[in-house]
Structure 1
């Protein structure tokens, strides 16, 4: 095989590759396949390992690899941001003098180029002599990009799954030809680059950062680029390459931040010059963690492309998934929204699918990073809110520092309450007792301390926030602030104390009534005939991109379709949502809506929104582009800034049709579309550290298999009423109401339930 020849792998390694292709869950039909190599960076073949990324595309006549590293950041402080105090903001809102707040909290974010994520560099190869590219393919089972030219020449590239190295190679080059990579540095020193119409979305020109010129050193088979950044910081890009036989070439690249770059030797005599087997092994393990089979070809492909991207941007020790992660815009400008960490939905949605898909080793990156920057967040909490405890800025730099922006959301008092949900999920899905006691509960206690310090008591004797908001209702105007606490904030607070009580009981074995009472001391959720309002006396009045008023339905699941009163609220909320329409929605609004409707058991509606997302709001390479790419068929937003949260919310939308477990029991096939007669999943993860398999064929659920990683009580609603069980005695099973059964499992135990009337 050409691939094995190129990479100098022995027969045993070639067999490993073949085995990986046979057993990998994605199918060839899930791959990205183009007749010609994409000609835009946001349509490129994406490669990544959580730390480094590359985009493979064609710019003019040149083959281009856009190179990136997650730590490439300019962390200079946002001007004036440390002057803000929440008490002052409250006073200005009361005085209706909000321009003064915007000038400090918002304007600098719009006008200042930094702090910001920055691009690395690009490699270009002049391939004009090879003619038009015949095919371009990304094999997502192995994370290998392959370009095939009409004369048989092939270009291959991948970013190693667990090494800080990217690889590229040519094979079967025409006789006598040499392809030499050229390093294209970002335009930090170019002048008069036009700024886009919207500086936040389109990005300011890179020259606005004011960096000194970088130094490029070249020698035979090597290029080193040293770029000074802000205040003594720098990064390096190192590229090395050499000939492979008579008609090939192989090379490698890396990026380092504040450290001299180096690469392992490209020894063509070695059996493993590019560490390909260990790369394959990582991706094989990744895909073997779980699988989903659904009868919808379009959605199945989109799902696996989303899960490929998740495996490309997350590792346990990386920063969280930012807006573009390791694929910073390669267009001469800063990335949309500075490529930062948005905690008013973007980071949260990005981790939704990781728990259920059995990738809790990767979701740990979120909580690990939050713990790493906790001291920075504690200091900001005391400085801005004037109270002890812990909150987190809603928009942050790599090191957790506040960046400002629309401060109703970028400095919201309930950001940490939402982030706490991910601490809960990390424990609930893994059962990691050490994490619970040493990390999770201490984090919750500090948030509780903060909420106690900031809450006030209203004239009805209920606690509330002194000022509240609901992202991104009324955008950044003074009307975005509410004197009575919004359902967004209330849902987060009520959920926080519900989960706090649950975690405390799990750690101590005692009832946690006092914590539940704390939650109940806050105002209840507000409803009217339109369902969940934005705030008391303020129903959702117009189409809106952020489903912030519906947080209690999803992701927090405070409301249940099994309770009649809750069901009515959910139905009214959806009726109002449909009445207002989708004209002001972005792409992520549709993928989030799928999980909202799935929570109500409305699988057909969820299916519709998943289709709209995949068909209208994604680039040809599956990137979420925010705007409706079919000229505004469903939304007035028709722009194309790339962000990742919509992609990952889509994957979770698929999960929510198949399995749910955060409402206190495992629910199998809770919201299957009426057209899905055949579907199955393998090793999806439920709370309680339970791995679950389920199969439905010819419209009939056949089997459910549970595998327990931890001992504990299991509550489950099977998709059939009568069953035959294996691995547990019948008298050990307790029949509860609403079709739920419960029983105890030991660690390592496996139980199978089969439909008695299949």
Structure 2
């Protein structure tokens, strides 16, 4: 429900000055992706599929790779022995990891007398439009990825193109080297495309067909090359001029995209860059995790054609997958989370086997930080393989979904057992000494990499994850009553395991001052700029820090100062939106806003796609390169939503995250915990109205948005209150409106 009408601009003018594929217009149906970019007289059509894998290789989980063995090796100082517990697969003498594969592109060469004039992305219809001029006449070329087929369609360009050339990824040096090194045959070239056989995965045929004014490009699998070729041919046959051609084949695509945008939350802000970052972030999230399709990866369906994508384009569960879905909650697009949950559900036997191997229990789940689409460890940073916080972070996402959706059945049937199984693995990793528990082998993601400096006792990140699980399990017990053994486990651990690790404050100014701050782990403060803000995860996203507790407030406030003091010199693109949210949760709305502008300036391409590294030198140490990762551009939308609505430890805040420089702003249909949909407006620097619609019988605790008297309009009745926290018990389908009340001014006689 959107109580305020906002008319977003879904049309995005696109630059014609594109250097490579990731400068292009992204199109996707959640499986098949295309990037539309331009070189001289050529329209480049880079294509890929989010499920196009070479699954061979990866980390080998050996029988001796148990937690007890790992711990004993580390305690004896044999770090190399510990590291060798996680060998990687070798093929032809080289390390082999599972990886998404580059696919290729089609080069549509314009005739010499045709000039490309403009390009636009229509986000609300999932369609791109190119305008060309030939003589005195303008021609329109429309492009769309069909919503339910792995196929790109192009309409209106038949008389404009001189040639259309298929170019497989094998044509590029880096891809060819990979194929040759690991025994992948060269593709079988055909006049209309190519067919790629793979050693252990299905063959993939990429073919095109042009008829009746429509160019169709399809990529489909088969058990062998011939079956793949036939499957691709069948897809091409489904687009026929007699059945309406392009317009008919893409009508459902346009409607599906319109329906998604009708559901998505809207924002209005006198800052065109932030607005565009929000809407493009939502668009990319949908393209990377379309409801009913494939869970989001590092590059999604938009992998480049000239090399296999960096980091295998895999599932990184220590921040990247999460950021790809952060906006789904507030933007009211919860169905975008379901592909991830469905994939995790299919992995449960693997996660249970991991827990059995590592800690020897039959009722646990364990997920590594870098895995393929089958849940198997890809390789690389071995310390991430033992990072059990990956499992609990998935549990947090599931819990958050249930709370935002008001889905009690999912909460009790799926989330509750998943949290218990994640917690049991943590329990087996604990040292228990009377009334004191500890976690002797922990990580703070990516700090120290795969070196000995990457491990420590009682990392704050692990502790926050464990306390999140315990807190939510006890909340479930209080409200519903859960298995007494599960409740006792959570209560016991919560009482005896510290909530975080702290040490002497690091940031000092004008002399040494006492006090504590959050540490990464025991004896390890944030000693340098670090891209992963893991020690601050109790602020966001786990929301375990209680700022009304003086000791916790001090530790967090001091850690925040030291974090600022260490600076952004070793940050990556995805560090920025998380930092924006952290600044906002700490009450620094202007810094939250600046963080997003820095993301746009330093890490974003003209296409608003984000790089891992900075665009230029001088801002941070990670500069240059052409690695696109999708998560930062998507998470920026979540950071924008935080400006309007925040859910913090059971309370909802409206407009507290918006910089005071914005006197006028509005939002409509932002979802909050409890299955509430909020809309609000601000004018002249003052909040004018907040509307709350409830999808469930639930109570919302709303921080008074007016800072004084508030009028609550409900069922034609008006109630006035000046409480700092306004508690409203609403029925399903009920709507209330809050407006500023009359402020009484006392005058002296």
> Could you tell me the TM-score, scaled by structure 2's length?
0.88
Measured in 1, the distance between the counterparts of 2:644 and 2:113 equals: 47
Distance 1:50 1:424, change over 3 A: same
Measured in 2, the distance between the counterparts of 1:518 and 1:104 equals: 29
Measured in 2, the distance between the counterparts of 1:55 and 1:749 equals: 44
Structure 2 unaligned blocks of 5 or more: 507-516, 744-749
Q: Is the 8 A contact 2:54 2:200 kept in 1?
A: no
Range with bigger deviation, 613-622 or 634-643: 634-643
Residue of structure 1 equivalent to 2:557: 571
In the alignment, is residue 749 of structure 1 matched against residue 734 of structure 2? yes
The one of 38, 43, 46 aligned to 1:58: 38
How far did 1:470 drift?
Answer: 0.7
Q: Is the 8 A contact 2:667 2:680 kept in 1?
A: yes
Residue of structure 2 equivalent to 1:42: 22
Q: What secondary structure is seen at the aligned counterpart in 2 of 1:587?
A: coil
How far did 1:305 drift?
Answer: 1.1
Q: Is the 8 A contact 1:665 1:717 kept in 2?
A: yes
The one of 208, 216, 241 aligned to 2:210: 241
How far did 1:407 drift?
Answer: 1.9
- Residue correspondence of structure 1 range 663-674 to structure 2 within 5 A: 663-674=649-660
- Residue correspondence of structure 1 range 14-413 to structure 2 within 5 A: 25-27=7-9, 31-34=12-15, 36=16, 38-59=18-39, 61-78=41-58, 80-82=60-62, 84-103=65-84, 105=86, 112-127=95-110, 129-151=112-134, 152-171=138-157, 173=159, 179-187=162-170, 193=173, 205-218=178-191, 223=192, 225-231=194-200, 233-244=202-213, 249-256=214-221, 258=223, 260-261=231-232, 262-263=234-235, 265-271=238-244, 273=246, 274-289=248-263, 290-331=265-306, 333-388=307-362, 389-413=364-388
How far did 1:497 drift?
Answer: 1.3
Distance 1:506 1:329, change over 3 A: farther
Distance 1:228 1:100, change over 3 A: farther
Residue of structure 2 equivalent to 1:525: 500
Q: What secondary structure is seen at the aligned counterpart in 1 of 2:421?
A: helix
Q: Is the 8 A contact 1:567 1:600 kept in 2?
A: no
How far did 1:43 drift?
Answer: 0.9
Measured in 2, the distance between the counterparts of 1:755 and 1:56 equals: 49
Q: Is the 8 A contact 2:212 2:245 kept in 1?
A: no
Q: What secondary structure is seen at the aligned counterpart in 1 of 2:251?
A: helix
Deviations 1:113-164 (A, max 9, x none): 4311112332221225255532222222222122223323433211123444
Structure 1 unaligned blocks of 5 or more: 1-22, 196-202
Q: Which runs of 4+ in 1 moved over 6 A?
A: 509-513, 729-736
Q: Is the 8 A contact 1:377 1:401 kept in 2?
A: no
Range with bigger deviation, 123-132 or 549-558: 123-132
Residue of structure 2 equivalent to 1:13: none
Measured in 1, the distance between the counterparts of 2:421 and 2:85 equals: 28
Q: What secondary structure is seen at the aligned counterpart in 2 of 1:88?
A: helix
Range with bigger deviation, 96-105 or 665-674: 96-105
* Corresponding pairs, count: 708
Residue of structure 2 equivalent to 1:18: none
Residue of structure 1 equivalent to 2:474: 501
Distance 1:119 1:610, change over 3 A: same
Measured in 2, the distance between the counterparts of 1:163 and 1:194 equals: 29
Q: What secondary structure is seen at the aligned counterpart in 1 of 2:292?
A: coil
How far did 1:613 drift?
Answer: 0.7
The one of 714, 721, 725 aligned to 1:727: 714
- Residue correspondence of structure 1 range 479-518 to structure 2 within 5 A: 479-482=453-456, 484-508=457-481, 514=488, 515-518=490-493
Deviations 1:58-112 (A, max 9, x none): 3565322111111111111326444643333323322333234445637669953
Distance 1:588 1:163, change over 3 A: same
Deviations 1:450-505 (A, max 9, x none): 223332214x73222231111111121112111x2110110111112112223444
Residue of structure 1 equivalent to 2:401: 426
Distance 1:354 1:232, change over 3 A: closer
Measured in 2, the distance between the counterparts of 1:24 and 1:277 equals: 25
Residue of structure 2 equivalent to 1:682: 668
The one of 582, 602, 615 aligned to 1:629: 615
Deviations 1:7-49 (A, max 9, x none): xxxxxxxxxxxxxxxx995415x61421x25230121111111
Deviations 1:627-676 (A, max 9, x none): 12132334543433111221222111111121112420211112221211
How far did 1:411 drift?
Answer: 2.7
Measured in 1, the distance between the counterparts of 2:729 and 2:59 equals: 57
Q: What secondary structure is seen at the aligned counterpart in 1 of 2:611?
A: coil
Measured in 2, the distance between the counterparts of 1:576 and 1:257 equals: 55
Q: Is the 8 A contact 1:491 1:556 kept in 2?
A: yes
Measured in 1, the distance between the counterparts of 2:162 and 2:386 equals: 51
Measured in 2, the distance between the counterparts of 1:467 and 1:213 equals: 45
Residue of structure 2 equivalent to 1:554: 540
Deviations 1:369-402 (A, max 9, x none): 1111111111122123333311111111111112
Measured in 2, the distance between the counterparts of 1:731 and 1:284 equals: 37
In the alignment, is residue 655 of structure 1 matched against residue 641 of structure 2? yes
Measured in 2, the distance between the counterparts of 1:234 and 1:598 equals: 48
Residue of structure 2 equivalent to 1:14: none
Q: Is the 8 A contact 2:710 2:721 kept in 1?
A: no
How far did 1:562 drift?
Answer: 5.0
Distance 1:232 1:400, change over 3 A: closer
Measured in 1, the distance between the counterparts of 2:378 and 2:368 equals: 8
Deviations 1:528-553 (A, max 9, x none): 32421111222111111111111111
Measured in 1, the distance between the counterparts of 2:206 and 2:319 equals: 33
Q: Is the 8 A contact 2:712 2:719 kept in 1?
A: no
Distance 1:600 1:432, change over 3 A: same
Q: Is the 8 A contact 1:153 1:173 kept in 2?
A: no
Deviations 1:158-177 (A, max 9, x none): 11234443211234835xxx
Distance 1:255 1:505, change over 3 A: farther
Q: What secondary structure is seen at the aligned counterpart in 1 of 2:208?
A: strand
Q: Is the 8 A contact 2:54 2:201 kept in 1?
A: no
Distance 1:377 1:77, change over 3 A: farther
Q: What secondary structure is seen at the aligned counterpart in 2 of 1:31?
A: strand
Q: Is the 8 A contact 1:162 1:282 kept in 2?
A: no
Q: Is the 8 A contact 1:113 1:204 kept in 2?
A: no
Measured in 1, the distance between the counterparts of 2:9 and 2:303 equals: 28
Range with bigger deviation, 570-579 or 91-100: 91-100
In the alignment, is residue 715 of structure 1 matched against residue 701 of structure 2? yes
Deviations 1:584-625 (A, max 9, x none): 111111211100011112101111111111111111111110
Q: Is the 8 A contact 1:81 1:404 kept in 2?
A: no
Distance 1:300 1:757, change over 3 A: farther
Residue of structure 1 equivalent to 2:510: none
Residue of structure 2 equivalent to 1:8: none
> Could you tell me the TM-score, scaled by structure 1's length?
0.87
